[in-house]
Structure 1
Amino acid sequence: MKTETTNYVLYDVETSGTSAHYDQIFQLGALLTDEHLNVLDRLELRCRRLPHVISNPEAMLATGVDATIRNGGDHSHYALVRAAQQTFNAWSPAIFCAHNGFQFDERMLRQALFQTLHRPFLTQSHGNQRIDSMTMAQACAILAPGRLTIPDLNGKPTFRLGPLARANGVAFPEESAHDALHDVEAMRGLMAVMADRAPDVYAATLRNSNKKALLSLIRSHEILRFSAVHAGRVISRIVAPVVTAPSNSNALCVFDLAHDPDSIRRLTDAELVGAFSASPRILRTIKLGSAPILSPVGVFPGEPRVTISANTLAERAKTIREDRTFQARIARAMDRHFAKSPASAAPAEQIYGRFIDPADEVLCETFHETRWEDRRLVLDQIGDDRLRVFGLRLIYAERPDLLTDVERAEMHAWQCDRILADNDAAWMPAPTALQAVTEMIRRAQPSMARQLEQYVQRIARIRTVATQYPHAAKIRKAG
């Protein structure tokens, strides 16, 4: 299969936790490959902990305690993100891929770019496309069963990279897990296996990463198969496209043709809104920008058997297709169901609030290319209040001597607030981390307990410094 972009950028990030808004990337590994997955270039970056970021103890267990305690070399977080952005731009256009990337790596990368004054949607702009090797593996498991070995975890199929790679003959020692570049090498090996054993499914999932091709598929088929894995449960439904949301052309509603359309058409407008989260899920929303597993019915020999007659499916699809009033009601219901919550006051949570103005994008690039002594002047010209906040934090992290005494005091107070916040904070503050790791030590083996105690000592020192700051008696909610 040929696509408009035939190179891949396979990447992985290791982080301080799972919050895209408030955790940070510690390590990024990436490979540039050709369409046959031959390596053309590679990138490996590590950085220090940001002073206001406390690692989540659970993340430490996953990635290794030492990885989050060590300093990470001479590179700052800003230097890591800047290097990644420049390299990824140089490698573009390409198809960007991470394992479980749509749920994790992609979100972490977007926020890192956003909070360092870069264009956040790098992997979806300038001709780039996105796929997820986990979704590709799930497509193989559902549409071509038996070609890929799917390991079992507690009675459910697991698509985690390590077990999946090893089950399919890809060398991936347990001790290499959660090292970014090793993870990427394993991902490349897994993709090569899928391309070899299930080339038809592999090609179809790649095609769905191209939104134009995906929209063409939807427009040319009245009936489609939608497949996915949710909480270890495999689903594969025969559906009819209904309509995209007026406020989000990336969200497509489909109707499950296992049900009579009248069961939904008779609902009130308020009941229609609830139908998107009801069980059974007769109405589903598919994210078109996330390379969903959508395919024509019957094209894969091993796909699940259809138990409803072709005539019944065709009649139900026709009912949906010809009822314009129903489609309009569904469109309104989608907008009501997915209505945005009130905007958060925290800049880190406002990435989807509005796009960055083109004039500000130009100023941000000027900010990066200007010597540090002049960056504050550039920052003052940016109109986006979110970016001005992030820019001030960048200068504080990289060159605090360039701020006024008042600005440094304000930034230090914000940093201390992040560290000393209450347990209900949206991020991981020091008191919460210490409470969690203390419980982990109680249950840990002696060797692990000793490592965790090093973490306790480190966080205790950070907390002590923050507590001694004059403002600390009254903690604000820092965003």
Structure 2
Amino acid sequence: MDLENKTYVFNDTETTGLNTWFSQIIQIGSVLTDSKFSVSEEINISSEVLPWVVPSVGAYKVHKQISTLKNDMSHYDMMSFLKNKWTDWSKEKELVHVTYNGMKFDEELFRRQFYWNLYDPYMTNTKGSLRVDLMVVMMVIANFFSDQIKIPKDKEGKLKYKLELLAEENGISAQNAHDAVVDCYLMINLLRIIKEKIPEVWNSAVLASSKDGCMELLKSSPFCMQGELYGGQSFAYPVVPCGQNPNNKNEVILVDLYFDPKELFEMKDSELKGQFGRSGAFKKIAINKTIPLINANKVPELSKFLDESEEILTERAEMIKDNFEFQERISLILGENITNWPDQEIVEQRIYDGFPSDADKLWMERFEISPWADKVNLIEGFEDERYRELAERIVCYEKPEFASPKMLEKYNEFIKTRLFSKGPWLKGGQSLDQAIIEAESSLAESEDEELNLVYESLLDHYREKKSNFC
């Protein structure tokens, strides 16, 4: 992989809440840089809160994006703009999308909300695009390179790795953090320091950002070091791969080399199954995500981080690599452990129910480019009921004048359900009535003028929604 020919896109979001299935992105920062992190272009776009979404008091208390509560770009237009911009940027060079905690949050939101709007959910990791989660890279740094990059600690000595805290600890101003574009620049400035002081760490993360690259790193000699953070403490393990799920090639098993392979080889399958988990010999990873790994040879003063001699660990790594029968056993055990998820009925939760057919892909393209008067006539042309439901929803909230009375009646009932009824959309969130109570209580107790404006704006938004849909 030619790292000097890479183009980086730093992405961050602000949202209505923390539920990645149902919360809405209301601000997107996306900054394009070259391989030296010189900025070429940036976008800062935001969208009005969707009619069926209840923005949480907690989220707005942090990011204060009150302009999104009314009179902003529509969510459909925002995601369309982002899709077109990323497509544009990818025409000349392959993109590496960089986020902070993105694998668990921002990336999942991008996927879901491209899907809501009938766009390809996998823009950031297909057609040559790659993904790196900088927060995971910081776990490697916190474990093995904390003499180069400062890692803040609290009064109890626990490591803290929030982006704004890391930035400030390393001399970067974090003023106005929790604005999507500002957070993009925090990542860029932090990476400039990382690349200057420990370029091997960043290069390793980018090389491992593809599935093939990750497997290449895992198989490299003598072995890899995995660095993790739990409860503010760092934990390091020497690991090698020892199996791959035959039903899901993204799922790979690592063996902790502090466990003697000779003992593992002698175990029955039932005993090996007991070694899966946090305290056991086996660690399950997903090679389509950023993993906190680095080759042992790249760790300075490696012996400081080992509880066993490098010689013994290297010998154990070779034993695992040479025992193909054992690797096959582990793979088969992993393949047996199939989770049968319950069928989902709510369209937002059905993103992973399968890829669109070729016919539906073409229909999505036609839907995108057609005038609104024609879009409504295309809805029933989708083969997959998911896309029919989403297309109908888009027409109803974007251009209700083109929707039929029956469509609008169904749409209004849908909004009422989301605003006032119980359901999975309330996980980590609130009904409209609950949000009103919290905002009123917060306003009564607050003496902060800036926060008072947030609470008042939220209350205006909530009350208008209640008036419109009660």
Q: TM-score, normalised by structure 2?
A: 0.90
Aligned match of 1:219: 219
Aligned match of 1:476: none
Deviates more, 1:143-152 or 1:416-425: 416-425
How far did 1:63 drift?
Answer: 1.0
- For the 8 Å contact 2:111–2:121, the answer to whether it is kept is yes
- For the 8 Å contact 1:360–1:383, the answer to whether it is kept is yes
Distance 1:281 1:200 in 2: 30
CA, structure 1 residues 51+239, in 2 after alignment: closer, same or farther (shift >3 Å)? same
CA, structure 1 residues 54+5, in 2 after alignment: closer, same or farther (shift >3 Å)? farther
- For the 8 Å contact 1:117–1:390, the answer to whether it is kept is yes
Distance 1:193 1:14 in 2: 25
CA, structure 1 residues 263+344, in 2 after alignment: closer, same or farther (shift >3 Å)? farther
- For the 8 Å contact 1:62–1:178, the answer to whether it is kept is yes
Unaligned regions of 5+ residues in structure 2, if any? none
After superposition, the CA RMSD in angstroms is: 2.5
Aligned match of 2:436: 434
Deviates more, 1:429-438 or 1:89-98: 429-438
Matched, 1:462 2:465: yes
CA, structure 1 residues 267+53, in 2 after alignment: closer, same or farther (shift >3 Å)? farther
Aligned match of 1:472: none
5 Å-filtered alignment, 1:377-456, equals 377-422=377-422, 425-426=426-427, 428-438=430-440, 440-441=442-443, 444-445=446-447, 447=449, 448=451, 451-456=454-459
Matched, 1:100 2:101: yes
How far did 1:19 drift?
Answer: 1.5
Partner secondary structure for residue 225 of structure 2: strand
CA, structure 1 residues 57+12, in 2 after alignment: closer, same or farther (shift >3 Å)? same
Aligned match of 1:471: none
Letter of the 1:213 counterpart: G
Letter of the 2:185 counterpart: E
Aligned match of 1:123: 124
Aligned match of 2:309: 309
Structure 1, residues 276-312: CA drift from partner, whole Å, max 9, x if none? 33x4142111221223232222322155432313453
Matched, 1:287 2:286: yes
Distance 2:263 2:189 in 1: 46
Letter of the 1:387 counterpart: Y
Aligned match of 1:20: 20
Letter of the 1:312 counterpart: I
How far did 1:61 drift?
Answer: 1.9
- For the 8 Å contact 2:222–2:297, the answer to whether it is kept is no
- For the 8 Å contact 1:241–1:255, the answer to whether it is kept is yes
Aligned match of 2:167: 165
How far did 1:113 drift?
Answer: 0.4
Deviates more, 1:118-127 or 1:433-442: 433-442
CA, structure 1 residues 423+148, in 2 after alignment: closer, same or farther (shift >3 Å)? same
Distance 1:126 1:5 in 2: 16
Partner secondary structure for residue 150 of structure 2: coil
5 Å-filtered alignment, 1:21-420, equals 21-64=21-64, 67-68=65-66, 70-71=68-69, 73-92=71-90, 93-154=94-155, 155-173=157-175, 176-221=176-221, 223-261=223-261, 264=264, 269=269, 272-273=272-273, 275-277=275-277, 279-303=278-302, 304-337=304-337, 339-420=339-420
Letter of the 1:86 counterpart: N
Q: TM-score, normalised by structure 1?
A: 0.89
- For the 8 Å contact 2:66–2:457, the answer to whether it is kept is no
Distance 2:469 2:438 in 1: 19
Report sequence identity in percent.
24
Distance 1:359 1:263 in 2: 53
Letter of the 2:369 counterpart: E
- For the 8 Å contact 2:222–2:296, the answer to whether it is kept is no
Aligned residues: 462
Deviates more, 1:4-13 or 1:184-193: 4-13
Partner secondary structure for residue 381 of structure 2: coil
- For the 8 Å contact 1:423–1:432, the answer to whether it is kept is no
- For the 8 Å contact 2:61–2:454, the answer to whether it is kept is no
CA, structure 1 residues 349+271, in 2 after alignment: closer, same or farther (shift >3 Å)? farther
- For the 8 Å contact 1:55–1:68, the answer to whether it is kept is no
Unaligned regions of 5+ residues in structure 1, if any? 468-479
How far did 1:360 drift?
Answer: 1.6
Distance 1:293 1:416 in 2: 44
Structure 1, residues 193-212: CA drift from partner, whole Å, max 9, x if none? 11112112122122111332
Structure 1, residues 418-463: CA drift from partner, whole Å, max 9, x if none? 0001376445421332344455456544543564254234323423
Deviates more, 1:108-117 or 1:245-254: 245-254
